[in-house]
Copies of this chain bind each other. A is one copy, B any other.
Amino acid sequence: MDKLNLGVIGLGSRGYSVLVWLLLGMEDVNVTVVCDVYEDRARAGQRAVFEKTGKEPLMCLDYHDAIKAPGLDAVLIFTSWDTHAEIAIASMKAGIPVGSEVGCEYSLSNCQRLVDTYEDTGTPYMFMENCCYGKEELLATSMARRGLFGEIVHCAGAYAHDLRYEVAWGIENRHYRFRNYEHRCCENYPTHELGPIARLLDINRGNRIVSVVSLASKAAGLKAYIEKEAETKNVPEYMKTTSFMQGDIVTTILKCANGETIQLRLDTTLPRFYSRNFTVRGTKGLYEQDTNMVFLDGVHEDKYFDTVMSYEQFMNNAREYEKDYLPEVWKAVTPEVEAAGHGGMDYFVYRAFIEAVKNKTPMPIDVYDGVTWMAVGVLSEMSIRNNGAVQDMPDFTHGKWQTRPREDVVEM
């Protein structure tokens, strides 16, 4: 397979930008189908492909048509969260390998259906979690794999991203977040932080998430934001009267079969700067992504009782470990790759999918990973609704987590 015939389903902002900035620049990819329920978006995608390649891809408004397109080798899904599963299931049934963008899932049954369909059809499925290819996440994972942090006992991470503008004004741009924040309260986007943690902790490969507990703060951020917007802008009535269910801070704790805890924070409706804070804690040391800091027993010393002085001393010292521990692909990263999306990790995740389809090798982030991570969202919703009651994580591997081989997630 020299060139892969690819279908792109969903051409909102994420789909369109991955198409233009990544896929159209890849020499071994033909985008032969573009699909969106909104004709203007589908047409914009079609135009972008034509302008770059001189060839006009098939344009569809219905994904059922898209996956039937002749000669299609694989599809990528960039649609709204609540349509990822059904499109992936239809693709797998049609025998078309599928890469699904990240998001949250709404029901355990949809998670199970994804697994069942994969097991029934054998069609490859990849969950496109770009943060699994993040530079800091891979540096820290590489150090963990080489034992620098000792036995790992705890990891933490966050999706801390001020999305108030995107959520509040989202419907104007046909975005699905508004309705989610209106109707639901949960860890609605767990995978950016959980994905890399799960890989480091060998989840579904000798380890397993066994339970989820989640609590949400009150929802005050969006209301305050919209009130402030209304002082200077013409804010539509529906925005002013909507009351949002989604708590501003959702704290989730996962327990793993091997005794580790994982703490997640969803943090999207209060003022702050972006952070994922991938954090690794072991018997010999720690890594914290926010400050890109390493602290190793016997190497670094708690010289001060003053935490700020410690941060000033150690901040960004993880750079010193890149020479020995950063994966080769990141050492060789080009400015073009870094510019192509989220500092480079988008390129790596899409290349991983394309290589796996072309070479018929196992998907590096498979359906078991994807559904386990998304199920955290479902279980967090149930836990929050029950004041923090513990929820059991289903074993989507049917016991095979005990024997599925540990993955080398660092060397790509």
Binding site for B on A (CB under 8 A): 150-151, 153-154, 162, 211, 213, 215-218, 220-221, 223-225, 247-249, 251, 253, 255, 258-261, 263, 267, 270-277, 281-286, 289-292, 295-297, 300, 302-308, 310-312, 314-316, 342-343, 386-390
Contact = CB atoms under 8 A, between A and B. Distances in A.
A274 B255 contact: no
Contacts of A306: 343
Nearest to A308: B292
Contact of A151 (B224, B286, B388): B224
B151 A310 contact: no
B215 A253 contact: yes
A386 B304 CA distance: 38
Nearest to A260: B217
Given A343-B305, A389-B390, A251 B263 contact: yes
A153 B220 contact: yes
14 contacts: A151-B220, A153-B248, A218-B259, A221-B283, A224-B284, A270-B281, A273-B295, A273-B302, A273-B310, A273-B314, A274-B302, A274-B305, A386-B390, A389-B389
A298 to B, nearest CB: 8
Contacts of A314: 273
A181 B220 CA distance: 40
Contacts of A343: 305-306
Nearest to A222: B283
B281 A307 contact: no
A213 to B, nearest CB: 5
A289 B306 CA distance: 10
Contacts of A258: 218
A249 B14 CA distance: 37
A314 B343 CA distance: 22
Contacts of A300: 273
B217 A153 contact: yes
Contact of A390 (B216, B295, B387): B387
A311 B283 contact: no
A271 B274 CA distance: 27
A276 B310 CA distance: 13
Contacts of A275: 307, 310
B283 A307 contact: no
Nearest to A164: B297
A18 B167 CA distance: 53
B271 A295 contact: yes
B213 A213 contact: yes
A246 to B, nearest CB: 12
A284 B308 contact: no
Contacts of A154: 217, 248-249
A215 B388 contact: no
A390 B224 CA distance: 30
A295 B308 CA distance: 16
A291 B304 contact: no
Nearest to A212: B388
A283 B260 CA distance: 33
A211 B384 CA distance: 12
B286 A308 contact: no
A255 B150 contact: no
Nearest to A315: B311
A162 B298 CA distance: 13
A284 B307 contact: no
Contact of A153 (B213, B270, B290, B386): B270
A340 to B, nearest CB: 14
A249 B387 CA distance: 23
Contacts of A282: 270
Contacts of A386: 390
A304 B162 CA distance: 12
A150 B218 CA distance: 13
